[in-house]
Amino acid sequence: MKVLVTGGMGYIGSHTCIALHEAGITPVIYDNLSNSSIRVLDQLEKITQQRFDFVEGDINDSAKLAKTMVEHSIEAVFHFAALKAVGESAEQPLRYYQNNVSATTTMLLTMAEVGIKAIIFSSSATVYGDPKYLPIDETHPISSTNPYGWTKVMVEQILEDNCKANQDNLAIALRYFNPVGAHPSGLLGESPNGIPNNLMPFIAQTAVGRREFINIFGNDYDTADGTGVRDYIHIMDLATGHVAAFLAHQKDAGFLAYNLGTGEGYSVLEVINAFEKSSNKQVPYKFAPRRAGDIACNYADASLAKQKLNWTATLDLQAMTDDSWNWQSKYPNGLE
Ligand code: NAD
Ligand code: UFG
């Protein structure tokens, strides 16, 4: 079976291609390379011994999408393609709504045109806004604090409405908590452009000597050590979660949403400590004021995925920092 992986050259999409391949599902990658490198394809080949089909294209380009879907007899779409920087989304909201919402609608129309009925969508725990209770389950109220988050809320709504109108359609929104780590081979990982916004790549770049120190945003939160707590999930666990969701619901219809997290929260200081152990390097840090829009604590109730998908995360924080360091030390400047 062949599936289209939009954004498949990016961080999460590329790792998911490996998990799909391992499950006997053939990924066809569709990506405009706006936030990824063509070299990902070579790395995927080294890992899987398979050259995946790749189409350089934009999801706004309905004609190219339709042609790709038909030529490859695509049966489902794994939709990762999106812009993802929270801060940037507040500065350029229209660009985010266009790329993440309008383009997704275009793609859904194209899917309908060529008769593809199933989509697995990269959503985010950001759709829960400021948590009203912890752990967060899938019935937690939906909201957002920034345009990026609203794009995820809106696409979920579009998918739900579309499934109501077309009762043989399937849409699974996977709400990721904090994806981190790299493929255990060290051949593939996360390499953000510019200064990393997220914790793990910033720590990794500090450990490898690209940055002098890391700012810890806030040490006065109501958490055990005062620093922010998040549910970090290993990228390979996240990848297998996609396969599990697809296989469990392949014959179903309707709109479904699942948390993909470990159910456990770790503080910024705990992550830094684990990284120091993995790298055998000191990670210098300074306490800085809280970052605007940040919440104190966030972790998943991951029991629905366990119950319905027979999936749980298996890799712990040390595996996440080990693999992150393995990748960062092999490729200090990413693939470029
Ligand atoms: P990424 O930037 O590494 O990957 C996204 C890929 O999509 C890139 O390769 C980019 O070139 C491509 N792309 C973007 N717009 C496109 C378009 N219009 N047409 C074709 N390709 C396009 O990001 P990622 O971390 O792998 O995230 C994948 C998905 O998961 C995104 O939807 C993101 O919002 C979501 N998500 C990510 C996180 C996270 O922390 N990384 C958390 C929750 C949700
Ligand atoms: N942090 C630092 N220093 C840094 C970077 C982060 O102290 O340089 C802290 C943050 O304050 C937070 C924790 O590390 O306490 C994690 O921060 P990240 O930026 O790695 O992750 P967030 O939880 O803030 O953001 C993630 C995703 C977003 C998504 C958001 C809400 O990256 O896409 O979760 O679900 F919108």
Is 33's C-beta closer than 6 angstroms to any atom of ligand 1? yes
Taking the C-alpha atoms of residue 247 and residue 172, their distance in angstroms, rounded to an integer, is: 11
Instruction: Give a yes or no: residue 43 inside a domain.
Output: yes
Pick the atom of ligand 1 nearest to 198's CA.
Answer: 40
Is 0.95 surpassed by the pTM of this model?
A: yes
Residue nearest to atom 28 of ligand 1 (CA): 80
From the CA of 46, how far away is ligand 1's center (Å)? 22
Determine how β-strand 232-234 pairs with β-strand 178-180.
parallel
Number of Cβ within 10 Å of residue 293's Cβ equals: 12
From the CA of 82, how far away is ligand 1's center (Å)? 4
Instruction: Give a yes or no: residue 293 inside a domain.
Output: no
Determine how β-strand 229-230 pairs with β-strand 266-267.
antiparallel
User: Cβ < 6 Å from ligand 2: which residues?
Assistant: 84, 86, 124-126, 149, 178, 197-199, 202, 214-217, 228, 230, 268, 291, 294
Instruction: Give a yes or no: residue 65 inside a domain.
Output: yes
Pick the atom of ligand 1 nearest to 148's CA.
Answer: 34
Taking the C-alpha atoms of residue 44 and residue 6, their distance in angstroms, rounded to an integer, is: 16
Is 59's C-beta closer than 6 angstroms to any atom of ligand 1? yes
The catalytic site residues sit at 148
Q: Which ligand has the shortest distance to the CA of 334?
A: 1
Q: Which ligand has the shortest distance to the CA of 206?
A: 2
From the CA of 266, how far away is ligand 2's center (Å)? 12
From the CA of 11, how far away is ligand 1's center (Å)? 7
CA 217 to chain CA centroid, Å, is 22
Instruction: Give a yes or no: residue 272 inside a domain.
Output: no
Q: How high is the pLDDT of residue 18?
A: 98
Residues of the chain with pLDDT under 50: none
From the CA of 147, how far away is ligand 2's center (Å)? 16
Instruction: Give a yes or no: residue 333 inside a domain.
Output: no
Taking the C-alpha atoms of residue 72 and residue 147, their distance in angstroms, rounded to an integer, is: 34
Say how many domains are in the chain.
1
Pick the atom of ligand 1 nearest to 81's CA.
Answer: 7
Instruction: Give a yes or no: residue 95 inside a domain.
Output: yes
The residue to mutate among 80, 268, 283, having the most atoms of ligand 2 within 8 angstroms of its beta carbon, is 268
Q: How high is the pLDDT of residue 40?
A: 98
Instruction: Give a yes or no: residue 122 inside a domain.
Output: yes
Is 32's C-beta closer than 6 angstroms to any atom of ligand 1? yes
| Partner residues linked to 300 by β-bridges | 136
Give the structural domain span for 46.
2-180+232-261
Residue 130's domain is classified under what CATH number?
A: 3.40.50.720
Q: How high is the pLDDT of residue 193?
A: 86
Per-residue pLDDT reduced to its tens digit, 183-236: 999 999 998 888 999 999 999 999 999 999 999 999 999 999 999 999 999 999
Is 36's C-beta closer than 6 angstroms to any atom of ligand 1? yes
CA 30 to chain CA centroid, Å, is 16
Instruction: Give a yes or no: residue 204 inside a domain.
Output: no
